[in-house]
Amino acid sequence: MKSKIVIITGLIILTVFLILRPYYLFLTQKLKISPLKVLISKDSLKTFDNQVNIAALGIPGGNHDGPNLSDSIIVANYNFKSSQLTTISIPRDIWSDTLRDKINTAYAYGEGKMTGGGLKLARAEISTIIGQPIHYAVVIDFSKFEQLIDFLGGIDIQVNHSFTDKKFPIPGKENDDCGGEDPEYQCRYETISFKKGLMTMDGKTALKFVRSRNAEGVEGNDFARESRQQKVIDALEKKLTSSIKKANLAKIDTTYQYLNQLVSRDITNQQLAIIGKNIIFNQIFGHHLSKKQTTLSEDFFEVPPYYLYDGKYVLIPKDKDFAAIHQFINCQINNGTHCKND
């Protein structure tokens, strides 16, 4: 009887080993993650007041005009104690006195000076705006973004308002002279439209949804655009999580390859795993991950005369400094209930 128990136990252990071994090798060899170090330490992760801030920049990439300009800027704050994840959308047109240009040029200027300089300069500039240290930065190449969404089978988006954009730029036609017969250069654009309601989007459609900036009505400003960007990020996160939970190692591996192609970053897989460990452990002890989305609304800003800023449309703080914004963001990430948004 004892021998049978030993044999059965041995077979169970062997089976578990054979099942888990490929995943262990994927973690250690492909992702370069040490499970032991993840479990016992978070020393390799930069934090401040038990929080970590990661800036995510979306760039057009490819053959677009200004391929390294940041179309979207979002800061993700994770609080290790409360297990709260707060995402903050930053308007791309905020003026930077240091750059003497819009904030969305930081990555492009930094990268133009040296490889990797874009992440460093973008972190510094965004930190000035939000009044929080930016520990890491991630750059997402939108020109490769659609490939990942298509691989995952599309994403589901709740469109809040129907809208039409008659001037959505066609890639590669930015400088088309339209045969010299069209002073408005209509050949450079296509008309796109979205209807209110739940919509399953493929990669190309999702990319148009987040990049549209000339829509008619309430969706025609950058603040509405930032809200759409957060919707797509949330939907993509849900699809990625669902895919990973199915524990199909081949698909997980391919998904990781797609992610690696479209992302540049200065945060390692080991550091991301430490954040993931904290989220999982908090859930085990009853502290489920809570999510909060916020934007820096137009109430914080004013549009100054163009001639004072090289003829550009820019946003500057109403109070001439970022103190009110710093206070608002600090209130948001510390789960305040009456955060003043003006």
Question: Is the pLDDT assigned to residue 193 strictly greater than 90?
Answer: yes
Amino acid identity of residue 50, one-letter, is N
Between the two ends of the chain, the Cα-to-Cα distance in Å is 75
| Residues 6 or more apart whose Cβ sits within 8 Å of residue 132 | 48, 53, 75, 77, 326, 329, 330, 333
- Report which of 277, 257, 241, 263 is spatially closest to residue 44, judged by C-alpha positions: 277
Tell me the domains of the chain and their CATH numbers.
43-333 (3.40.630.190)
pTM: 0.84
Question: Is the pLDDT assigned to residue 224 strictly greater than 50?
Answer: yes
Which H/E stretch holds residue 201? strand 197-201
Q: In this predicted model, what pLDDT tens digit does every residue of 146-183 receive, in sequence order?
A: 889 999 999 999 999 999 999 998 877 878 788 777 78
Confidence of residue 9 (pLDDT cuts 50, 70, 90): very low
Q: Answer yes or no: are the C-beta atoms of 122 and 111 closer than 8 Å.
A: no
Q: In this predicted model, what pLDDT tens digit does every residue of 91-142 receive, in sequence order?
A: 999 999 999 999 999 999 999 999 889 999 999 999 999 999 999 999 998 8
Question: Is the pLDDT assigned to residue 187 strictly greater than 80?
Answer: yes
- Of 67-81, 288-302, 327-341, the one with minimum mean pLDDT is 327-341
